């Protein structure tokens, strides 16, 4: 018979020794972590305890952290072979099938262990039970091992600690007898929806779902089926631009609805949580409400937006734009890479492509309380500070430019250094200035600015020619329009000064100005309260990426909740990942917010 599960209230009553004893084995051979965390009692929840344990490690010195890493066994290493692992490690390594390696896999792992130890000086740490807690495949483990062998050392050390926290999290779930049921449901939906991918990508296991392709239509049909059959929404339909719209009515037919949702299209070879998580979380909440026979005063309207990424056609935010009345009629004539006009793609998908039908999708803001969106952070911040959730303060405003510096091409051997008009060197100065100037806002009260020169191109460049021209792009973002404008003004002025000093010409064209979308204070504080109620500290951060909420911001109050992404928050990439426990926290926070209305 398994030992009875531990509870948080029991744990809160224990003295330091008993507390440390109760959490023995959660962190490998490192009782000091529980002892440190003891001081942070009482814990409101299991996630509060997990957070306190992670903070104890964060507050430790680098040497102590390395000691924790070194307390771990190698994967399928000598200790494993000799049967010398802790019970917890044995369980994890055998669940991941590491006790059943083929001779080739075993040899590969030994080689990786040796290379890794030689490079970093500590053992490779991976939470082999993975994002779902059910176990990674041996191939996934070997691939991750090989990939991380190439990471910078300080980054890899942090990645090891994050994996140690994930190992601890799963061990705690086992000890407390809890399973993130809705989190598992969401990860299951994400996997199942990702089977729909476009030809050319699907064969390689890559996820690509662009506007109104067959994969896109299949994904929409799948969402409709889940929303109707599994979740119990009252009405579910696909609208004239391909948005999936589902309503769960409230008890008061006069009361305005809360609008929520995110996009189900993806970038090419993207991740399976970007956008989709913001559809799945409300689905999981409504599913629970429906199962409990519960209705709230206000109805919930969930929209799976058909298009946000601007991949097949140059029409970013098409889905949410249709709701704000911003569908540009010229979009219908745009053609994709195969020459198919959007109008034809719409008709082929069974839509009328009639502007009058699209115009009808415009929502009356008076019928809504506001818009909320859950999204994967798509950045490194939350992952880096061991925080599962963050409340968004603003979606950054941006300014984009294309530019060119025009100097004079000349012979690399014969032109003296003081006579050159090197266009690339001028742009290089600008690149360094952008980096320095944006970094000045790192501690700005509203949040940091960012600036990037993503394209640098010397047309017709040659190894023995001083660059005569250099083309570049500029992407500047900040959480306030005024902050972005002052950054932009400084960068523009510096470019002028650099070119004047060097005696070269330039062109600079602003191709996009997007307004910042600060969160509505009342809705932001509802998210903060929802996170606080979970027993987690409230972390606030701006969004560097654009989201559907940015579009809805134009017509109604909005606020977003971010969840951390693993692998340092990588997104628009197959390595994008979240855990079942973090997905569960999203559902819990969303439920708290709904119940607080």
What mask, x for binding Zn ion by CB under 5 A, covers residues 118 to 137?
--------------------
Whether residue 451 contacts residue 438, with contact meaning beta carbons closer than 8 Å, is answered with yes
CB of 374 to Zn ion, least distance (A): 11
Residue 412, class by beta-carbon neighbours within 10 Å (0-12 exposed, 13-18 middle, 19+ buried)?
middle
What mask, x for binding Zn ion by CB under 5 A, covers residues 452 to 471?
--------------------
Extract the tokens encoding 418: 């003081």
Whether residue 198 contacts residue 209, with contact meaning beta carbons closer than 8 Å, is answered with yes
CA-based torsion, 296, 299, 304, 310: positive or negative = negative
CB of 498 to Zn ion, least distance (A): 36
261-280: contacts with Zn ion (CB under 5 A): 274-275
- Return the number of the residue (346 or 395) whose C-beta is nearest Zn ion: 395
- Return the number of the residue (163 or 208) whose C-beta is nearest Zn ion: 208
CB of 47 to Zn ion, least distance (A): 25
- Return the number of the residue (275 or 467) whose C-beta is nearest Zn ion: 275
Whether residue 317 contacts residue 325, with contact meaning beta carbons closer than 8 Å, is answered with no
CB of 261 to Zn ion, least distance (A): 11
- The verdict on 373 binding Zn ion (CB under 5 A) reads no
What mask, x for binding Zn ion by CB under 5 A, covers residues 222 to 261?
----------------------------------------
What mask, x for binding Zn ion by CB under 5 A, covers residues 536 to 575?
----------------------------------------
What mask, x for binding Zn ion by CB under 5 A, covers residues 16 to 55?
----------------------------------------
- Give the separation between CA 340 and CA 358, rounded to whole angstroms: 20
- Return the number of the residue (256 or 275) whose C-beta is nearest Zn ion: 275
CB of 536 to Zn ion, least distance (A): 23
- Return the number of the residue (275 or 518) whose C-beta is nearest Zn ion: 275
CB of 273 to Zn ion, least distance (A): 9
CB of 379 to Zn ion, least distance (A): 12
DSSP state of 207: B
- Return the number of the residue (89 or 213) whose C-beta is nearest Zn ion: 213
What does 150-196 look like in DSSP terms, one character per residue?
Answer: TS-HHHHHHHHHHHHHHHHHHHHHHHHT---HHHHHHHHHHHHHTT-
User: Which residue number is nearest to Zn ion in terms of Cβ?
Assistant: 275
Q: How many residues contact Zn ion, by CB under 5 A?
A: 2
- Give the separation between CA 594 and CA 210, rounded to whole angstroms: 32
- Return the number of the residue (127 or 549) whose C-beta is nearest Zn ion: 549
- Return the number of the residue (171 or 547) whose C-beta is nearest Zn ion: 547
- Name the E strands within 288-352: 300-305
Q: How far is CA 538 from the centre of its chain?
A: 18
- Give the separation between CA 430 and CA 415, rounded to whole angstroms: 23
DSSP state of 441: T
- Give the separation between CA 529 and CA 308, rounded to whole angstroms: 29
CB of 271 to Zn ion, least distance (A): 9
- Give the separation between CA 35 and CA 26, rounded to whole angstroms: 12
CB of 547 to Zn ion, least distance (A): 6
Do you know the residue count of the chain?
597
- Return the number of the residue (74 or 274) whose C-beta is nearest Zn ion: 274
- Return the number of the residue (239 or 274) whose C-beta is nearest Zn ion: 274
CB of 78 to Zn ion, least distance (A): 45
As a three-state string, the secondary structure of 21-62 is HHCCCCCCCCCHHHHHHHCCCCCCCHHHHHHHHHHHHHHCCH
Extract the tokens encoding 197: 């991918």
Q: How far is CA 148 from the centre of its chain?
A: 20
Sites of contact with Zn ion (CB under 5 A): 274-275
């Amino acid at each position: 018979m398994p030992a009875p599960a531990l509870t948080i209230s029991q744990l809160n009553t224990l003295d330091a020794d008993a507390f440390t004893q109760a959490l023995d084995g959660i962190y490998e051979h490192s009782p000091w972590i529980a002892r440190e965390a003891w001081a942070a009692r009482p814990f409101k929840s299991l996630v509060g305890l997990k957070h306190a344990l992670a903070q104890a490690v964060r507050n430790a010195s680098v040497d102590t952290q390395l000691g924790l890493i070194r307390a771990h066994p190698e994967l399928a290493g000598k200790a494993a072979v000799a049967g010398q692992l802790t019970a917890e490690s044995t369980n994890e390594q055998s669940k991941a099938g590491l006790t059943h390696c083929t001779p080739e896999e075993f040899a590969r792992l030994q080689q990786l262990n040796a290379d890794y130890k030689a490079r970093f000086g500590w053992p490779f740490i991976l939470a082999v039970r993975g994002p779902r807690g059910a176990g990674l495949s041996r191939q996934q483990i070997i691939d991750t091992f090989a990939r991380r062998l190439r990471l910078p050392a300080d980054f890899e050390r942090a990645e090891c600690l994050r994996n140690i926290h994930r190992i601890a999290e799963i061990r705690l779930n086992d000890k407390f007898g809890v399973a993130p049921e809705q989190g598992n449901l969401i990860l299951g939906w994400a996997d199942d929806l990702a089977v729909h991918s476009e030809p050319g990508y699907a064969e390689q296991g890559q996820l690509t779902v662009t506007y109104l392709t067959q994969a896109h239509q299949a994904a929409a049909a799948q969402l409709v089926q889940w929303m109707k059959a599994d979740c119990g929404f009252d009405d579910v339909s696909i609208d004239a631009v391909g948005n999936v719209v589902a309503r769960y009515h409230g008890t008061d037919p006069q009361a305005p609805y809360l609008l929520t949702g995110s996009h189900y299209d993806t970038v090419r070879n993207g991740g399976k949580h970007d956008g989709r998580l913001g559809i799945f979380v409300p689905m999981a909440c409504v599913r629970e409400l429906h199962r409990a026979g519960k209705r709230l005063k206000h109805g919930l309207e969930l929209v799976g937006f058909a298009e946000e990424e601007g991949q097949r056609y140059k029409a970013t935010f098409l889905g949410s734009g249709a709701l704000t009345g911003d569908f540009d009629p010229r979009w219908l004539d745009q053609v994709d890479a195969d020459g198919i006009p959007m109008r034809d793609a719409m008709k082929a998908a069974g839509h009328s492509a009639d502007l009058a039908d699209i115009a009808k999708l415009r929502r009356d803001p008076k019928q809504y309380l506001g818009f909320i969106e859950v999204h994967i952070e798509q950045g490194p911040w939350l992952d880096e500070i061991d925080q599962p959730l963050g409340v968004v303060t603003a979606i950054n405003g941006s300014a984009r430019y294309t530019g060119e510096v025009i100097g004079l091409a000349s012979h690399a051997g014969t032109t003296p250094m003081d006579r050159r008009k090197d266009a690339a060197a001028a742009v290089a100065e600008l690149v360094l200035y952008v980096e320095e100037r944006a970094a000045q806002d790192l501690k700005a009260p509203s949040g940091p600015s960012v600036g990037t020169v993503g394209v640098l191109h010397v047309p017709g460049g040659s190894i023995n020619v001083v660059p005569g021209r250099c083309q570049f792009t500029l992407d500047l973002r900040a959480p306030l329009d005024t902050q972005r404008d002052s950054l932009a003004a400084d960068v523009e002025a510096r470019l002028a000064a650099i070119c004047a000093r060097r005696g070269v010409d330039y062109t600079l064209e602003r191709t996009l100005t997007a307004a910042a979308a600060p969160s509505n204070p009342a809705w932001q504080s509802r998210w903060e309260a929802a996170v606080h109620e979970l027993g987690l500290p409230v972390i606030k951060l701006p969004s560097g990426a654009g989201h559907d909420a940015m579009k809805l911001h134009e017509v109604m109050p909005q606020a977003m909740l971010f969840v951390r992404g693993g692998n340092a928050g990588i997104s628009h990439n197959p390595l994008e990942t979240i855990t079942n426990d973090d997905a569960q926290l999203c559902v819990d926070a969303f439920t708290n917010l709904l119940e607080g209305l």
